[in-house]
Structure formats: C-alpha cells, structure tokens
Structure 1
C-alpha cells in the first residue's frame, strides 16, 4: 500500500481521489484493529477490568457480542480510562479536569445514544461511541486535509496539486498517532477541528487579497470559533491563537506604514482587518476558556467548607494548568531526567520532522523568490508560515515542558509536516525550492507505517508508549 502512496506516477491520473483515500483509510484501519483484537492478555495493568459495569460477557453470547466486548476492552487503555469514566459519570476529582471537557461531553452524549433504552450509559457504550467517533473524525480530517492543501497550493497545473494533496492526505492516514486515532481519545476530533480552522483561516486570507472584506471577516471569525472548540478537546489547541496574533501583527505593520505614507484609505482597511483578527482571537479565547469557567464554578465557588484550592486565587485561574503541574509533573525541564531518556529517543524522529518542516516553512515563507505558486495576491508560503508557528511552538514545549513522548500523537493535527514530507517525496520544483536540497529516503515513510503497527500491539497490551 505504501509503495502506491509514495509513487507519484501511480496517482497522477486519479479520477476519484477522495474515494481512493477512503479505501486506503479502510484498509489501514482494518489492519490496526486486527492487531488490537489479536493482542494477547490484559497487559501488565488491569485497570480496565476494575472499571464499574464492565464485566466479562457470558460465554453463551454471540460471536459478534464477544468480539465487540473484546475490542472495547483492548481500546480502554491509559487516558481512555479517564475519558470513559468522566463521560459516564461526570467530573468528580480535580485531576480529571486535565482531560478535554469537549471530548468527554461528546462521548457522554453519543454514549447515551448507543445505550438506547438503558437509563445510564455503561463504560462499553462510551468506548464504542468513542471508537466510532474516532474513525469518523479521522476519515473526515483526511478529506479536510486534502481540501486544505488544494486551497492553499493553488496553481494553474491543477493535476500536480491534486497529486500533492492526495499524498498529504494519505500520509495523514498512516500518521504516527496510529491507534490513538481509533481509540476513544481526542486526537482525531482535534485533527479535524484544527484542519477546519486552518482551512477557514487560509480561505479568509485569500478573500482578503480579493478585497472581499465582509466574506473574509466572516471566515476569520468562524475560524476563531472552530479553533476555540478544538481547544476544548486538546489543550495544545491554544497555540492556534498564534494565527490571529501573526495576522494582527501584520495588519499593525500595514497600518503604521500607510499612516506614515498618508494613505488614509489603506490605513482604514488595515485597521478594520486588525479588528477582525482581534475579534477572532477573542472569540477563540472565550470558547477555549469556557470549560475553565465550569471548573472554577464547580471547585472554587460551589464550596461547602469555604476553602478553595490554591489555583482558585490566581490572577488567571486555570484548573488545566494547575492539574498538569500538580498531578502530572508538567513544567519547564521537569521531564529532563535520566529515566526519561528513552522517551526522548522515542520522540526524536517526530521532533526532527516537525522542527525541520517548521524551519522549511520559515525560510520559504520569508523568501521573496518569484517562482512560488501564487495564492491570489498572497504567496502560499506566507500562509504556510503562519500555520507553521503553532507547530514549532508545540515542538519547543514538548521538548522542554510536556511529556515529550506524546508528540507522536499530537503531531497528527498539524498540516505543515505533511506538506513538507510530501514536497520532499514528490519533489515538485514549483512547490518549494528548498525541498529539493534535502535527500529524503523512504525510511521516514517506513518508520511511520512500522511505528503505527508496533504501537497498535503495544497499546492493546497496555504497554508504553502512551
């Protein structure tokens, strides 16, 4: 399958790229789920079997019922235990607020629908709901990445761009996030929402270049809302706020230049655009911090003994930051210990790929070469540069502050490294001149596939990495 994906000549004449992507998607998921089903034993941790209302099925049950239970039991691993428990009975303990409010609420809603006539959804209902949502949203994010690539890399030679977009979307199918995009985790939902937010942002910039001010403003505001919703699923979504900061900074520069040149009309236009970026960022912030408000009301206001937790008295109270620091040991260089060296080695390939692609976007985005595909009046690499900043900051935070090993699954929701890798594989000179300077072996692609396969078996057996 991978040979067909990485061979540009085999996809130059695609008649139905979305259908072909769907077939590849189904084959890859079938392989991963087969590995999950065949994994031996409960693993070294029996937390899954200690969950309430998750008893083994009766031996007299149908083969389908037993397979369903077996699959669910193999997918409730690591953080999925928290997600399923919170979705089933709500937030009870303070440390549970580290797990995305948007994701647990969505799991709870769909879990109740799966439960049907039963008044309370069980753990298995929630897990099956999460599995269905993960597959659906991962497939949708594959299609959205394809459309996002077409939107950004506009060119007269459309067939080459279709090939390029197909390859990027195919790479997302075999993302190193692997089985986390099939389990009841938030990665697939975040990928979808982040790609949609990027798509709306890129489309807004293009509309701005065509002087469609009202349409551009609407798209930009909608992008802010979508990016804010994405943050309720994964906290690293806050980094998407850099898109609006960069856009606002650019408009500030335009405003000052036009004021200096006494170009009143252009100065007013830059000022209005600055307001649009500011409002979009504000909408994102309000949407993103809505769960924080719920946590503050629950823990800091609705108290029976009148004593609040330490984070309640901060100038900007955030239960998420507090829990990450207090319970999970997140903090600057706190993860830099000898025992964690294997985890840094595990994360190294993805960190190198993401940092290299961010540097590529920075160099190309800052270039004034005229051989780049034009994006209306905006060079595509200018758009790529904006989208690269959240990815670069994520890598720096993972390297210095986060649990570094999770970068392999967080990477799934960022489009830049897919574009960079596709540029190096396809080697279209009009895509980016810098891409041809790197000698890229098929080792990266083989690593992605092998990592996903090995990870599926390890995950189902309750073994790291998580």
Structure 2
C-alpha cells in the first residue's frame, strides 16, 4: 500500500510538471505569434517572457502589490496574493534578481503559485474518501485537465493558493485535525471571499457528524466553544478587509464619505464594489449579451450539478450508513452495501458545499468564474472519475472537452480575450 501510494504521488507530480510546461509553452507561443486584443500588457512590462504573466486580474494584483489599494474597485480583490508578491519581490531584490517593478512582482507571484501545487494533497484527500488507491490516482490524474490552466498553473492569480489551502483544510478535517483545518481555511480566505464557506466543513465534522451518528456525548460545552472559535477564524480575513476599508472611507475625517458607508445595515465595501463595478447580484448576469459566458461555463457547471444529483438521489441508501438510529428501527439490520465508492457517506459535506457554491456562481455571479473556481472543489475530479468508470462515453467526452477547452483558453488568455 505504501509503495503504491509513493509511486502514485511521484507519477502525479510528474504529470503536474508536464502540464505546467505545456501551459507555459502554449501561452508563450500564442502571446508571441498572435496579436494582442488589448495592448495593455505591453505598457507595464517590456516584450519579454514576463509579459505573458500580465493579463486580466494580474493587472489588479500587481498594482495593489506595488501601490496598495488606490482605486475603490480594487477592494474587490483580497490582499493575500499582493502580499505574497511583495514578499517575493523583496526576496528577489535581496538576491539581486530584481526590484519592486511589475515584472518582479508577477514573476514572484507565479513562482509562489508553483510551490502551492495541490496534486499530492488531492491524492491523499481522494484516498481518504474513496478508500481506493486506484480511484484516488485516477481522480487526481484527471485534475491535470483543468478548465482554466492559465490561471491555475501559470499566472499570478488567487486560484492556485485558494485551491491548495482549501484542499489542505479539507484533508485536515478528514483527519479530525480541526486547528490545522481552521488555519488552512483562514489562509484560503485571504485569497478569495468564498473561503468563508469552508468553515462549514469544521462545523460539520465537529458538531453535525457526532449528532447524526449518535455520539452526543462528544457535544460538550468545551467542544462547542472550540467549534465556534475555529469556525470563526476563516471569517477574519473577510471581516478585516471590510473593516480596513471602512476606516479608510467612512471615518469623519474622510473628505467625501461614500454612500455605502451609511446605506447598509452592515457596511461592506466588498459587496458594494461587486455590485457597482461588476454588477454582481441575483440574476443580474442573466442577460442576452451574457449567453456566450453561460455557454462557456455550461460543461463545468453542469458537471457539478449532475454529480450532486447522482449523490443526493441516492441519499436514502446513504443515510442508514450515517445515522445508526435509522438502523435500530429496522431491528438493527445492517444497511445494504453501497454499490459505488462515489456514494461514500463522508462525501456528503463536499456535495452540499459544491451544490451551494455552484448555485451561487450560476445565479448570483459572473458564471464564467466557475471555470477558475470549480477546480478548487475536489468533487470536480471525483465526478470525472465516476464518469470514466460508470459512463465511459461521457467520461471521454469530459476529457476531450477539458483538453480542447483548456488549450483554447490558454490561447484566448494569451491574446487577452475572454473569458478569464
């Protein structure tokens, strides 16, 4: 078992390196051979290999890292990545490799992202839940086919860090390492606001699972207090971000106090900026002009919804494996064996989390963001593995789409065309 796991991890790390090199090669070739739709990247950097890193949100992260939060709309981006970029630029300057310029910041962020490779973590997380080295290997190998390879494997973007710390926290929860899980989720929340939803895994493991399994003796006052504290920790980056903005914009000494300081019961610059500059809100994105974005995102979104439906439709057969009280009502007859590893009872919190996040992305956000964000859900790859084994034609279709779309998205990203 140990030798098999070691062999799997080595192979997966090799595949991850190959995937990164392939993405870098494709993006670089596209950037040099094809004309840019928007010439902005040539303003901040010279026409060098560093310039391929300056696309889309990387502009905002690099500017925040260099100048701080100058413009109101920049508060839509959390400070985790800019902080890492500044630290990396400082280390490069000490080593004599650069200064606090655009290229150094972008290069530093990209190098930091490489260090946050989530391949090994996903494998061990899959091994825990699927109870099969071969299924864990298949699921993790399929993660090589990402729906947004440029953002996840190349650029100075939030997604590599958010995915890594999310997986780390989920694995810690699986091992009942609650303090480590809380810290990892808090780190994830420094990069993306939806990291606050990760607290649900701690709540599920510490309180809901003992309640459902009849271990109410574990639900002590001490455990409850500990759960509250650990669940609250991942919320701190979001709260801190909004408090700092409030102190900047809403104090009496401010020359012009914005409307959002007083119009909301709980003033939040993040909600204000998302609504004002990105038009985020329930069904706001559901317009005729955005139909192409829904088409782009449909395979990724539908993939999650289908797996959640598959799992939840089998919930009556899964529940007796979770709640012993139900078995006792049938003379304690053991529940029938589940016919799929992808119906493991331990997957339930992952399914609920994935269903909630995908619904938010579909109905309340820019739906194409799902191409970058859904890879942070391990269910994306567990669902793909299930297709490969149970529905091979659909599994091959998913791989084909992932490869073709991944390659096309690299070209689109390189020439500064949406979606991003």
Residue number in structure 1 paired with 2:67: 89
Aligned equivalents of 1:50 and 1:148: distance in 2? 43
Q: Deviations over 1:15-42 (max 9, x none)?
A: 6111111221122221111111111345
Aligned length: 396
1:302-381 pair list within 5 angstroms = 303-305=253-255, 307-313=256-262, 314-364=264-314, 366=316, 367=318, 368=320, 369-372=335-338, 381=344
Residue number in structure 2 paired with 1:389: 352
Quick check: 16-25 or 69-78, which moved more? 69-78
Aligned equivalents of 2:406 and 2:112: distance in 1? 19
Residue number in structure 1 paired with 2:139: 168
Residue number in structure 1 paired with 2:104: 125
Aligned equivalents of 1:397 and 1:420: distance in 2? 19
Residue number in structure 2 paired with 1:60: none
Aligned equivalents of 2:15 and 2:381: distance in 1? 17
Q: Is the 8 A contact 2:387 2:395 kept in 1?
A: no
SS in 2 for 1:82: helix
Q: Is the 8 A contact 1:252 1:271 kept in 2?
A: no
1:133-282 pair list within 5 angstroms = 133-137=112-116, 139=117, 141-154=118-131, 161-181=132-152, 182-204=154-176, 219-247=177-205, 250=208, 253=211, 267-272=216-221, 273-282=223-232
Q: What is the CA distance between 1:348 and its match in structure 2?
A: 0.5
Q: What is the CA distance between 1:308 and its match in structure 2?
A: 2.4
RMSD of aligned residue pairs (Cα, Å)? 2.8
Aligned equivalents of 2:35 and 2:87: distance in 1? 28
SS in 2 for 1:301: coil
SS in 2 for 1:350: helix
Q: What is the CA distance between 1:201 and its match in structure 2?
A: 1.1
Aligned equivalents of 1:413 and 1:465: distance in 2? 18
Q: What is the CA distance between 1:289 and its match in structure 2?
A: 2.1
Residue number in structure 2 paired with 1:446: 400
Q: Is the 8 A contact 1:229 1:288 kept in 2?
A: no
Aligned equivalents of 1:14 and 1:150: distance in 2? 9
SS in 2 for 1:465: coil
Aligned equivalents of 2:123 and 2:365: distance in 1? 30
Q: What is the CA distance between 1:330 and its match in structure 2?
A: 0.7
Q: Deviations over 1:32-90 (max 9, x none)?
A: 11111111345111122233xx3x3xxxxxxxxxxxx6222122111111111111121
Q: Is the 8 A contact 2:199 2:234 kept in 1?
A: yes
Q: Is the 8 A contact 2:384 2:395 kept in 1?
A: no
Quick check: 344-353 or 103-112, which moved more? 103-112
TM-score (normalised: structure 2) = 0.86
Q: Is the 8 A contact 2:138 2:385 kept in 1?
A: yes
Aligned equivalents of 2:72 and 2:22: distance in 1? 38
Aligned equivalents of 2:418 and 2:379: distance in 1? 27
Give ranges in structure 2 of 5+ residues lacking alignment: 321-334
Aligned equivalents of 1:252 and 1:286: distance in 2? 26
Q: What is the CA distance between 1:372 and its match in structure 2?
A: 4.2
1:46-61 pair list within 5 angstroms = 46-51=39-44, 54=45, 56=46
Aligned equivalents of 2:145 and 2:216: distance in 1? 46
Q: Deviations over 1:166-188 (max 9, x none)?
A: 11111222211211111111111
TM-score (normalised: structure 1) = 0.78
Give ranges in structure 1 of 5+ residues lacking alignment: 1-11, 57-68, 155-160, 205-218, 259-265, 428-435
Residue number in structure 1 paired with 2:12: 21
Residue number in structure 2 paired with 1:65: none
Q: What is the CA distance between 1:122 and its match in structure 2?
A: 0.4
Quick check: 379-388 or 104-113, which moved more? 379-388
1:231–1:13 distance in 2 versus 1, CA, 3 Å: closer
Q: Is the 8 A contact 2:53 2:156 kept in 1?
A: yes
